[in-house]
Structure 1
């Protein structure tokens, strides 16, 4: 039986204990994701929660990312669980769901991400089936193992039920949003994704997730913060955003030219 290739690569890396360094795309032009997929990133995240990237554009970007030999991960807007299956059907290797603040949120997310008997995902994979290298019945049996669900932990409510979220079979990993987490930790008074309190929270999340063998991913607004998150035990980091990378490169070039 042929094994999944691109689609299983993310799950395979986690199972081997390897770290994943991902690009982060929010710009709507799918060529941006395609360009970043050709660099030495291990994966590409497509963010539909913030910014102008729509579901249709994400679905068009996914095969371009896969064609570069990289897994694609989609982040849905808050509560739009109906898009989880669409992303996986189109060939995404994983989906990130923001603001998972209750067990009901987590169970609903898992239900859309997993086929029966674990979940309620309905049959209709086209890009995913084609990219998997599997026949339909093999895909049905194996997809729950390589179609990864990342529940975002970014509030006090989520921190309070972290162990319960991690205990759900249909949740494969957790994803830390440090900016929103800082807002929660400081009672809505300020935002500071680099605060020591945030690092302590990440350490706690890593410890609890590691105890049950589930990886932790962290959004990093800079390369330095990405390295720090890996040092704290994260198994996946996203390095800046496409917009931030573009502006940073422009500022460096202009500094040299005008300096």
Structure 2
């Protein structure tokens, strides 16, 4: 990805749909390959995946080399890693389990420089990857770093309108698996259920009305297509571990 390429923030705010791959294996080369395969973004998962600070440092650069935007999902409540991910060159962060307006404010605080947030200065790697001077990076950073709050619980749904009013929160990202678990009090995992999909559509509508970006994790192609029709513009479709397994099985099946 060249320094002159549109940022992820610019593409999403222009109402362009960006499809992200999901990376759980701490193998930076996979991020490059996913970009070369045509994904618009690669999300490096530190919450449920094997990624750590070392692997996201290399994975961010690898994704950019492959032509994709780099996104990071930190562990729950790890707001320090939000700032570090942006310092390392991530263009967006998806913070899991944001359930209150206080959580949303903490996310913004770690994502944005003053006066919007309280992010500390240190994006030397990010500026280098983007081919910018420190002054150039600072001039655009608050506009070009995307802070997504994951909506995964009834509490988050109850606080949604308050969170959407938070200055500096760029978007919300539906986690349909956890949403189905929490709504059913642990009785079912049903991310594609009519109930979850209806809620997702409502969240997308409210987010867009508030001028925010709507994102979602999708488990299959039909859900991804439906999400686009609902108004989601940042859509996850494809976990690299599953794609590798499917490709290996298909290759072996050719010998049958």
CA distance, structure 2, for counterparts of residue 139 and residue 117 of structure 1: 16
| Equivalence map 1:148-167=2 (5 Å) | 148-167=146-165
1:143 is matched with which residue?
Answer: 141
- Listed one character per residue, the Cα deviations across residues 23-71 of structure 1 (whole Å, up to 9, x for unaligned) are 1101011111121111111111100100222121111111111122321
The equivalent position to 2:34 in structure 1, one of 33, 36, 43, is: 36
Matched, 1:17 2:15: yes
CA distance, structure 1, for counterparts of residue 135 and residue 143 of structure 2: 14
| Equivalence map 1:1-259=2 (5 Å) | 5-6=4-5, 9-258=7-256
Q: Is the 8 A contact 2:98 2:149 kept in 1?
A: yes
* Stretch moving more, 145-154 or 231-240: 231-240
C-alpha displacement of 1:103 = 1.3
CA distance, structure 1, for counterparts of residue 3 and residue 30 of structure 2: 26
CA distance, structure 1, for counterparts of residue 153 and residue 246 of structure 2: 29
Q: Is the 8 A contact 2:40 2:67 kept in 1?
A: no
* Stretch moving more, 91-100 or 121-130: 121-130
* Stretch moving more, 101-110 or 73-82: 101-110
CA distance, structure 2, for counterparts of residue 182 and residue 255 of structure 1: 35
CA distance, structure 2, for counterparts of residue 84 and residue 115 of structure 1: 12
Q: Counterpart of 2:37 in 1: which secondary structure?
A: coil
Q: Counterpart of 2:86 in 1: which secondary structure?
A: helix
Q: Is the 8 A contact 1:63 1:127 kept in 2?
A: no
CA distance, structure 2, for counterparts of residue 225 and residue 24 of structure 1: 16
TM-score (norm 2): 0.95
Q: Is the 8 A contact 1:5 1:131 kept in 2?
A: no
